[in-house]
A and B are shown apart, each in its own frame.
Chain A
Amino acid sequence: MSELIASKIQSNPKYLQLVRQRDTLAWTLSALVCVMYFGFTLMIAFAPDVLTQPIAADSVIPLGMLMGVGVILASCVLTGVYVYKANQTFDPIVSEIVREASK
């Protein structure tokens, strides 16, 4: 990559916006996964009674089991959200930036 292309990209407002948008999404989703997972973990550590109570009076299934499976499913869904957003929004902007820079 030449200096010229680099400086063109760096002064392109689309590039700055892309970085800001993508970073915001990436860190927000990361934070979401961490909050979910460490919320679950902190409950295991400090409020196990909440997790081990059954989901219904006549059931042996504890609430924590549903939450654990929920964290797994939510993780899959959130990766899907990121991939969808990246395919739809970010990829076209990236190719635009690259095209404009190599003109």
Chain B
Amino acid sequence: MKIFKNTFFALLAMIGVFASGLAQAADAAVSAVATASAVASASAVAPAAAPAEVPLNWHAIVMFILFVAVTLVITYWAATRTKTASDFYAAGRGITGFQNGMAIAGDYMSAASFLGIAALVYFNGFYGLLFSVGWLVGWPIILFLIAERLRNLGKFTYADVVSFRLKQGPVRTMAAISSLIVVIWYLIGQAVGAGQLLHTLVPQISYRESIVVVGALIITYVTFGGMKATTWVQIIKAGLLLGGATMMAIGVMAHENFSFAKLFNDAVAAHPKHLDIMKSVVPIGAKANPIESISLGLTLMFGTAGLPHILMRFFTVTDSKAARKSVLYGTCFIGFFYILTFIIGFGAIVLVANNPEYVADLTKSVLVLKGGGSMPAVYLSHALGGDFFLGFIAAVAFATILAVVSGLTLAGASALSHDIYANVIMKGTATEKQEVWMSKMMVIGLGVLAVILGIAFEKQNVAYIVALTFSIAACTNFPILVLSIFWRGLTTRGAVLGGYTGVFGSIGLLIIGPTVWTKVLAMGPAIFPYDFPTFVVLPTVLIVAYIASITDNSESAKKERAAFDAQMIRAETGLGAEVGASH
């Protein structure tokens, strides 16, 4: 324990040094503002060009540091209370339903959904709502079919549930591979977003430095504080994000005399596409494509129900009742938030578009903003509340990234240490201490990997990441999990073949699809003409899992089917489930 304490304080000191360095850099930067803004306007095309009005955002920096300080104190507190594997992976199973509901919201509402949906609405109007709806409707499904049974059957990862009565080695390997692909790509998306966002908001910190700061912080949170620290970082972040978004929406509505009719009329008048923003069932300018719309719908809904870092949250609560309650709270927070982002997006059309303070070049487009495509919500905060509010929202966006990245890193580390190391390689003979130690090493490894990949992908087109991660989650984790819980007939062969069909089917079709094949690889017209492959892959996975299971007449398959009754009793009654802390 002592060595942890010392390392912790060393890290704390390092971050302190970094912060004071930042302050010094800030002083220097103030005098260099004139040059900086000259450079910025010279390279107006560069996505990192900063708004000249906010040369150094003191408010943002002070609030970043405040948030970091609070979360580090929490991490220290959590570290002194993190001793067992159950503490590390599942916060000692002592989280209440309400707390977990907040943490779920904090884990799920990424900067991509905050800034991303607002930006989609800002550019396309109505179309953005399709994402809000699609990302919400997975939650009721998680509640009705998954949450309670997952809590009753599992220990730390969703692979615990899938492999409950199936062969540990092959099933856990498949589940861990699919989890890791989702986690690593999701991490890349978050890291690139973090780098761009921080660098845009505080131009004095470079893209690389931003990513390194994020990487260092999440390694600190997760290695020392495990799930307890992660959970509280997510709870605080959810509070900040919900509070910030609510204030923005109220600000917009106050500006519009609290009339939705006025808001939408003003938006239609302000947007260069006018009434088209109310009719956009596909992105403005794109051709309507029924199959793509349906596939997008399937991907968003079932992908949500298969994200490993989300599923992991259900092991932190005391029992299945708390798991159930937490989904209700989580769904309401997330639903409320998505309605807010919609108002924020329309507010940005009214207050940010056409505004020379924010628009890059009014002669070319009244929509395209300085600092790139994710800025509408950020500038809206400035339009509503000046530098102070912008600083607050920037800090909230930063907190958002940290919370999501922490959850992802812990989920990835648990797949590597709990599934692969402890259960596949050591076949359950690893001690708890060894397993937790391995987890911490994996957290550091994944953190470093995220930093490296984040830097490597700086200039890459990462538009396919949402499709990739949600497709694999929707086509692999979700169907295999549901089959293992509800279908007696599922065997190891069915789960493994079905699972790999989901992973490789999704990846394969994405590679030959329009975004990767045509835009990223520049190989010409796409072989598979849809961006979201779920409508093909999901049914295929179900068919493969079904046929591979029913044709499996091995002795082990018979045992696996026979073990279903005991699994079901535990899933339904919670008898034998991991016991939660009662406080």
Contact = CB atoms under 8 A, between A and B. Distances in A.
Q: Most chain-A CB neighbours within 10 Å: which of B268, B281, B294?
A: B281
Contact of A76 (B134, B261, B281, B335): B335
A68 B576 CA distance: 41
Interface in B251-297: 260-261, 264-265, 268, 275, 278-279, 281, 288, 290-291, 293-294, 296-297
Contact of B281 (A10, A51, A87): A51
Interface of B: 126, 129-130, 132-134, 136-137, 139-141, 143-145, 148, 260-261, 264-265, 268, 275, 278-279, 281, 288, 290-291, 293-294, 296-297, 301, 321, 324-325, 327-328, 331-332, 335, 338-339, 342, 565-566, 568-570, 572-576
B328 A83 contact: yes
Contact of B566 (A6, A30, A46): A6
Given A38-B297, A60-B268, A98-B575, A72 B132 contact: yes
Contacts of A6: 565-566, 569
Contacts of B324: 82-83, 86
Contacts of B576: 1
Contact of B136 (A27, A48, A72, A80): A72
B147 to A, nearest CB: 10
| Interface range, A side | 35 or more
Contacts of B136: 71-72, 75
A72 B569 contact: no
Contacts of B260: 61
Q: Most chain-A CB neighbours within 10 Å: which of B148, B288, B572?
A: B572
A71 B294 contact: no
B278 A61 contact: yes
Contacts of A48: 279, 281, 288
Contacts, number: 148
Given A72-B136, A87-B321, 4 more contacts: A45-B290, A71-B133, A71-B137, A82-B324
Interface of A: 1, 5-6, 9-10, 15, 18-19, 22, 25-27, 29-30, 33-34, 36-38, 40-42, 44-46, 48, 51-52, 54, 59-62, 64-65, 68-69, 71-73, 75-76, 78-80, 82-83, 86-87, 91, 94, 97-98, 101
A80 B342 CA distance: 23
B321 A78 contact: no
Contacts of A51: 281
Contact of B141 (A9, A33, A52): A33
Contacts of B141: 30, 33-34
A72 B339 contact: yes
Nearest to A51: B281
Given A9-B573, A82-B144, A62 B279 contact: yes
